[in-house]
Amino acid sequence: MSDVHSNSKFLVGIYDDDDVVLQAVKDVRKAGVKIHEVYSPFPIHGLDVALGHPRTKLGIAAFLFGLTGTLTAISLTFYTEGYDWPMIVGGKDSYSPIIYIPIFFELTVLFSALGMVATFLLSNGLGPTVKPLMYDLRTTDNKFAMTIDMSKNDIGEGDIESILKRSGAAEVNIKQF
Amino acid sequence: MGLGAGVVLVALGCFLAASGGGHETHEVAHAAGAEHAEGVAHHAYKWTNRLWANVWLNAIYFTGASVIGMFFMSYNYLAQAGWSVAFKRVPEALPAYLPIMGIVVLAVFFLAGHDLFHWTNPALYDTASPEYDPIIAGKHGFLNTPFYVIRVALYFVLWYVLWRMIRSYSLQEDLSGGTDYYYKSLRVGVIFLVVFAVTSSTSAWDFVMSIDTHWFSTMFGWYTLASWHVTGLAIITLTVLALKERGYLQIVTESHLHDLGKFMFAFSIFWTYVWFAQFMLIYYANLPEETIHYREIFSGFGGIYKAPFFINLTLNFVFPFLVLMTTAAKRTGIILKVAAWGIVIGHYFDFYVNIMPGTVGSHGGFGPMEFGMILIFASGFVWSVYSQLEKANLVPKHHPMLEESLHHDIN
Amino acid sequence: MSHVTSAVRTPLVTGGKTYADVTEDISRQVEGKPTREWTIAFTIAVVVLIYGAACVFWTWWEGLGVWGLNKTVGWAWDITNFVWWVGIGHAGTLISAILLLFRQKWRTAVNRAAEAMTIFAVICAASFILMHMGRPWLALWALPLPNTFGSLWVNFKSPLVWDVFAISTYFTVSLVFWYMGLLPDLATIRDRARSKVSRYIYGAFSLGWNGSAKTWARYEYISLILAGLSTPLVLSVHTIVSFDFATSVIPGWHTTIFPPYFVAGAIFSGFAMVQNLVLIIRVVFKLEDYITVEHIESMNKVITLTGSIVGVAYLTEFFIAWYSGVEFESYAFINRATGPYWWAYAAMMTCNVISPQLFWSRAIRRSVVWTFTLSVIVNIGMWFERFVIIVTSLHRDYLPSSWAMFHPTLFDISDYIFSFGLFFTLFLLFSKFLPVVNMAEVKTVIKSSSEKLPASVSGVAKGERVTSPTFNKNID
């Protein structure tokens, strides 16, 4: 939440419906207002596109962590059974990669999943000691909030308020951090 | 539209097959000098064996490709899937090829069964004969000509009749609308799935596993099903893309293609899983009566099947896995096409390595005959699919889930 | 978002619920005082757990000799219970991952409880691994650590070591998946909390979630990737469990169909257990509008499907045992069906193959009582399946001189009871302190499938995208 400066002033438009807020995002942006963020109790399909957020690159993280897992598994099995203490069990070669495929697979998945989730938490600034910035407590229940950072907009407060109202906002509040 | 191309392909295929046959006699003459067939056909090898083996291989491959159309529709009905309705007529067109394949399969069995199936040799069951084989004799209750023919005929009849029913409901739905036909089709789909649960395994034993008469694997039925299934998915994708490129099926969006791509990706991995599980267990336990199957492919007959073995793994696992991994790839027509072609070719080799070593052994190869035979069967298949597609509206306009499919949007 | 839903679909949420209703109905039991039923059930579970723990302690103190194992049957109830619990632990990830990938929306009401069940079932399964080690303080020897007496490593060629990797990976990833799913709901409870303590605790566990569009987009993305990773993972776990048996050359164990057949069986028993738990939850917490008869019916269909797959696998095994002409293999299967353990085999066949076929009847499929009873029967059947596979294959050795029978002792039984105490204690704690239904996900399906609008026959779907703010008033 580094993009929020102390004593920033926000206009918070509260909406009752997910379809309304999705359309409102398009309308408000068309009206020339820069939207800070939208908060919702559940994911709204297409909202990130409407807001113009860039596509997430977490897939690359998942891939790279997975690759690390595979390489770890290959090195672990090679070091232990191919190099450090070669052993022939069940008539197989001391290092027999076909047999290690389950290990390769499990470590790939483990590393990929944990690494990606960790990246997600870090990149979104989530953690057990984080105090969330809640613009409206009802956004985890049944309301949708569109927040406008006043310091980033040249349009006057009254104008934005009427744009929000026209786009379907049930109420418009002011929130100061 | 596809018909003209089909005729040209058939002509080309026949020409190639004929010239391939000519080559074959030369090769046989060559091979006669250094004959060391490792436990293959007990009676003399004829060049026609390879021809019949090729017909059989293609017949089994395209039987699978056809019946998967019905399988795909059935489980989509059962799972209440809405997204696939937009291109439903494509899988619906595939099983029309089944009767032709049924006739070919039975004809080959009657004409050349003795050359392809070791177990058809009556001496194996005669205790007085030097060729008596107690293990094969033990299988006589299952592997005997009358029962075999009944089973094979039953597969084709059941599959085809159930398809005719679902097809006619689908066409009637186009005319009259309503949800009645939806529920009727659902019921037929469920019946098909029950039938196919059994027949997919038993047909795999009959068509392929019984070629290596001694060999057995409990996984084999599901393994063949996995192979057929992903082939069918790739063919559906290719057909959808071909129609879209020619200006039909414009209602199919990137989202539908994305899902088809996911299906090909997921079921390629599923096939690999089944392949690996079967291979791993046989490799690990190292029992001679089981390992012989892979021994023959991997190092038997002078190693001629080693390349197809690796082509199989590469085209069916490595290739689709890498190509279809990203979202962008699954939404791009040309990449999907490349992946689908890889899968279609790869699974031909899957059946190739399972059928050829047991039927032609060291006389196998991949020459004009193989190529020509593929062309003949494939052009017939393309003709059959396109003529079915021409018979009906490409959009099932009264399907109750059509609207959902038109609004299918994922990203 | 397109809310186009076909007329042939039945609603997933009944009773005309609004978003606020969802929050209220599901958070209620987390915030309120424990009910009487809960307290009674919890007390019983804890008593069972204490009794079981004492028996497990004695098993370790005295040694594994207190079990009924002998030289021929060296694996019996311990591994049966392990495989049974791991199998049950498959449904949660299946529901949340595979059904997410297949976009089966009905999963939203049951995935939370199913995933919790998965995690607790895997813990129970792991407890049998520790138990059958006899000296659990040496469990770390199963990890690839350099031995203090020299560089002797674990044997990576052993399926038992693969199991260590598979089960621990599965547990970790399932836990992460479940926890990620909980984040938005924990934030909901945090924002509703009245006491400082619960605001602090739920606040810490919700990791500062605030539901911004950016977070949701990434969250949905990683959920899909986690689902994509979990799907092969869930297959791999029971595959590797099946390798424990199938890589050996014991007749009846070494058969190539084992991996997918074990997976199908696992899903089968897992869904049966989910049914049992969910049927109790929906009554106790009054969630009939969220977990509807439609949900129960869908899960019964999965049970019938997987039960039939298992049935096909039984028949395939039996057929190939005869077809193979291998006398040991043929004998193993004839012995299963007609030998001294014929009753276990009969129980397995009846419970697993025949009983789920009753679900072909729509009335039975939609009956709560039938569903509950048949689900219990399926789980009994799946326990017997593992018992049949493990004990009947072992008790007739290659050498007739070492043929033996297995008789369970009090400790075999009590250690099994322990796992029930553990499972239900954990599950009851979960159902009290965490929301049993995924609120955020139910809210995403509520509009497309909550109320039944008149649908025209021509196939034009209901609920086209509505952009006017008046829509919400129509809901109430």
User: What pLDDT is recorded for position B314?
Assistant: 92
- Residues B357 and B364: beta-carbon distance below 8 Å: yes
User: What pLDDT is recorded for position B250?
Assistant: 86
B280–A101 CB contact, under 8 Å:
yes
User: What pLDDT is recorded for position B369?
Assistant: 81
Mean pLDDT of C147-157: 76
B287–C235 CB contact, under 8 Å:
no
DSSP designation for C462: B
The pLDDT tens digits for C118-130 are 999 999 999 999 9
Chain A residues in contact with B329 (beta carbon < 8 A): none
The C-alpha atoms of residue B164 and residue B70 are separated, in whole angstroms, by: 10
Residue A74 near chain C (CB below 8 Å): no
Distance, in angstroms, between C218 CA and closest chain A CA?
Answer: 6
C320–B401 CB contact, under 8 Å:
no
User: What pLDDT is recorded for position C460?
Assistant: 35
Estimate to the nearest angstrom the gap between the alpha carbon of C76 and the chain centroid. 22
Chain C residues in contact with A15 (beta carbon < 8 A): 469
Architecture of the A9-56+134-176 domain: 2-Layer Sandwich (3.30)
The set of residues, in sequence order, having a beta carbon less than 8 Å from that of C305 and lying 6+ positions away, is none
Residue C456: pLDDT band with limits 50, 70, 90:
very low
Residue A146 near chain C (CB below 8 Å): no
- Residues C106 and C291: beta-carbon distance below 8 Å: no
Residue C9: which of B80, B136, B397 has the nearest Cβ?
B80
Selected residues 228-267 of chain C with any CB under 8 Å from a CB in chain B: 231-232, 235, 239, 243, 246-249, 254-260
B276–A101 CB contact, under 8 Å:
yes
CA distances from residue B7 to B3, B10, B17, B382, C96 in whole angstroms, order as listed? 6, 5, 15, 10, 49
B266–C101 CB contact, under 8 Å:
yes
Chain C residues in contact with B182 (beta carbon < 8 A): 8
Q: What's the number of domains chain C is made of?
A: 1
Distance, in angstroms, between B298 CA and closest chain A CA?
Answer: 15
Q: What's the number of domains chain B is made of?
A: 1
Residues in chain B: 411
Distance, in angstroms, between B255 CA and closest chain A CA?
Answer: 14
Q: The tokens of B351 are what?
A: 């059946």
Is residue C272 within a helix (H) or strand (E), and if so which, with residue range? helix C258-284
| pLDDT of C449 higher than 50 | yes
Chain A residues in contact with B331 (beta carbon < 8 A): none
Chain B residues in contact with C316 (beta carbon < 8 A): 201, 218, 221
The pLDDT tens digits for B2-40 are 445 444 554 555 555 455 444 444 444 344 333 333 344
Mean of pLDDT over chain C: 86
B218–C325 CB contact, under 8 Å:
no
The pLDDT tens digits for C178-190 are 999 999 999 999 9
Distance, in angstroms, between B117 CA and closest chain A CA?
Answer: 33
Residue B43: pLDDT band with limits 50, 70, 90:
low
A45–B409 CB contact, under 8 Å:
yes
Report which of residues A59 and C3 the model is more confident about: A59
What is the percentage of chain A residues whose pLDDT exceeds 70?
96
Residue B201: which of C102, C255, C312 has the nearest Cβ?
C312
User: First-to-last CA distance in chain C?
Assistant: 21
The C-alpha atoms of residue C386 and residue C401 are separated, in whole angstroms, by: 25
The C-alpha atoms of residue A62 and residue B366 are separated, in whole angstroms, by: 41
Q: Tokens 């006739």 — which residue?
A: B103
Half-sphere exposure of C455 (CA within 13 A, CB side): 23
User: What pLDDT is recorded for position B113?
Assistant: 87
The C-alpha atoms of residue C190 and residue C181 are separated, in whole angstroms, by: 15
CA distances from residue A22 to A28, B157, B378 in whole angstroms, order as listed? 10, 53, 49
C320–B217 CB contact, under 8 Å:
yes
User: What pLDDT is recorded for position B16?
Assistant: 53
B411–A99 CB contact, under 8 Å:
no
- For residue B292, the enclosing domain spans 2-13+46-401
The pLDDT tens digits for C412-448 are 999 999 999 999 999 999 998 999 888 888 888 887 6
User: What pLDDT is recorded for position B18?
Assistant: 53
Distance, in angstroms, between B9 CA and closest chain C CA?
Answer: 38
A59–B326 CB contact, under 8 Å:
yes
Q: The tokens of B64 are what?
A: 């699978």
User: What pLDDT is recorded for position B24?
Assistant: 42
What is the percentage of chain A residues whose pLDDT exceeds 90?
24
Backbone angles phi, psi at A11, to 5 degrees: -95, 130
Residue A17 near chain C (CB below 8 Å): yes
The C-alpha atoms of residue B270 and residue B317 are separated, in whole angstroms, by: 9
Cα dihedral B401→B407→B409→C3 (10° resolution): -90
User: What pLDDT is recorded for position B6?
Assistant: 45
Q: The tokens of C38 are what?
A: 């809960």
Distance, in angstroms, between C412 CA and closest chain A CA?
Answer: 31
- List residues in chain B touching A: CB distance below 8 A: 276, 280, 283-284, 286, 326-327, 409, 411
Residue A54 near chain B (CB below 8 Å): no
Cα dihedral B87→B93→B94→B99 (10° resolution): 170
Q: The tokens of C32 are what?
A: 């309120």
Mean pLDDT of B63-80: 92
Report which of residues B267 and A131 the model is more confident about: B267
| pLDDT of B1 higher than 50 | no
Mean pLDDT of C438-464: 56
| pLDDT of C49 higher than 90 | yes
Mean pLDDT of B127-136: 87
User: What CATH number is given to the structural domain containing C228?
Assistant: 1.20.1630.10
Mean pLDDT of B128-140: 88
Residue B403: which of C235, C323, C461 has the nearest Cβ?
C461
Residue A104 near chain C (CB below 8 Å): no
Report which of residues C242 and A90 the model is more confident about: C242
| pLDDT of B63 higher than 80 | yes
User: What pLDDT is recorded for position A52?
Assistant: 85
User: First-to-last CA distance in chain B?
Assistant: 34
For B34, counting Cβ atoms within 10 Å of its Cβ (0-12 exposed, 13-18 middle, 19+ buried), the class is exposed
Task: Give me the DSSP letters along C316-376.
Answer: HHHHHHHHH--HHHHHHHHHHHHSTTHHHHHHHHIIIIIGGGGGGSHHHHT-HHHHHHHHH
The C-alpha atoms of residue C438 and residue A169 are separated, in whole angstroms, by: 27
Cα dihedral A149→A150→A155→A158 (10° resolution): 110
Of all residues in chain C, the one with the smallest CA distance to A77 is: C156
User: What pLDDT is recorded for position A53?
Assistant: 85
Mean of pLDDT over chain A: 86
- Residues C434 and C182: beta-carbon distance below 8 Å: yes
Residue A90 near chain B (CB below 8 Å): yes
Best B77, B187, B196, B216 member to test C by mutation, with max C CBs in 10 Å, is B216
A59–B327 CB contact, under 8 Å:
yes
Of all residues in chain B, the one with the smallest CA distance to A100 is: B280
The C-alpha atoms of residue B330 and residue B197 are separated, in whole angstroms, by: 30
User: What pLDDT is recorded for position C411?
Assistant: 93
User: What pLDDT is recorded for position C473?
Assistant: 32
Sheet holding A9-15, edge to edge: A37-39, A144-149, A9-15, A171-176
Provide the greatest CA pair distance for chain A: 82
Distance, in angstroms, between C352 CA and closest chain B CA?
Answer: 17
Residue A164 near chain C (CB below 8 Å): no
| pLDDT of C450 higher than 80 | no
The C-alpha atoms of residue B62 and residue B76 are separated, in whole angstroms, by: 21
Residue A128 near chain B (CB below 8 Å): no
Distance, in angstroms, between C179 CA and closest chain A CA?
Answer: 11
- Residues B58 and B373: beta-carbon distance below 8 Å: yes
- ∠A87-A92-A94 over CA atoms, to 5°? 30
The pLDDT tens digits for A27-66 are 888 888 888 889 999 888 888 888 888 888 888 999 999 9
The C-alpha atoms of residue B313 and residue B310 are separated, in whole angstroms, by: 5
The set of residues, in sequence order, having a beta carbon less than 8 Å from that of B324 and lying 6+ positions away, is B261, B262, B264, B265, B268, B330, B335, B336, B339
- Residues C216 and A43: beta-carbon distance below 8 Å: yes
User: What pLDDT is recorded for position B47?
Assistant: 75
| pLDDT of C467 higher than 50 | no
Of all residues in chain A, the one with the smallest CA distance to C444 is: A42
- For residue C364, the enclosing domain spans 22-142+153-447
The pLDDT tens digits for C369-398 are 999 999 999 999 999 999 999 999 999 988
B222–C257 CB contact, under 8 Å:
yes
Mean pLDDT of A104-131: 91
Chain B residues in contact with A98 (beta carbon < 8 A): 280, 283
Chain A residues in contact with B284 (beta carbon < 8 A): 90, 92, 99
The pLDDT tens digits for B356-408 are 988 888 887 887 788 888 888 998 999 999 999 888 888 888 888 888 888 88
Provide the greatest CA pair distance for chain B: 71
Q: How many helices (H) and strands (E) does chain A have?
A: 5, 4
A59–B284 CB contact, under 8 Å:
no
User: What pLDDT is recorded for position C97?
Assistant: 83
Partners of chain B (3+ Cβ pairs below 8 A)? A, C
CA distances from residue B141 to B89, B148, B200, C332 in whole angstroms, order as listed? 41, 10, 20, 20
The pLDDT tens digits for C71-129 are 899 999 999 999 999 999 988 888 888 888 777 788 888 888 899 999 999 999 999 99
Mean pLDDT of C285-296: 86
The structural domains of chain A, with segments of one domain joined by +, span 9-56+134-176, 63-123
The C-alpha atoms of residue B195 and residue C301 are separated, in whole angstroms, by: 17
The C-alpha atoms of residue C197 and residue C190 are separated, in whole angstroms, by: 10
The pLDDT tens digits for B357-370 are 888 888 878 877 88
Mean of pLDDT over chain B: 85
Q: Could you count the other beta carbons within 10 Å of the beta carbon of residue B131? A: 12
User: What pLDDT is recorded for position B12?
Assistant: 57
The pLDDT tens digits for A68-113 are 999 999 999 999 888 888 888 888 888 888 899 999 999 999 999 9
The C-alpha atoms of residue B81 and residue B249 are separated, in whole angstroms, by: 19
Report which of residues B34 and C196 the model is more confident about: C196
Instruction: Give the residue among C424, C304, C427, C278 at the shortest CA–CA distance from C374.
Output: C304
- Residues C335 and C404: beta-carbon distance below 8 Å: no
Q: Tokens 């004809």 — which residue?
A: B107
Q: Is residue B68 part of a domain?
A: yes
The C-alpha atoms of residue C82 and residue C354 are separated, in whole angstroms, by: 25
Task: State the count of interchain CB pairs (< 8 A) between A and C.
Answer: 215
Partnered with residue A173 across adjacent β-strands are A12
User: What pLDDT is recorded for position B265?
Assistant: 93
Report which of residues B347 and A85 the model is more confident about: B347
The C-alpha atoms of residue A137 and residue A149 are separated, in whole angstroms, by: 18
Residue A91 near chain B (CB below 8 Å): yes
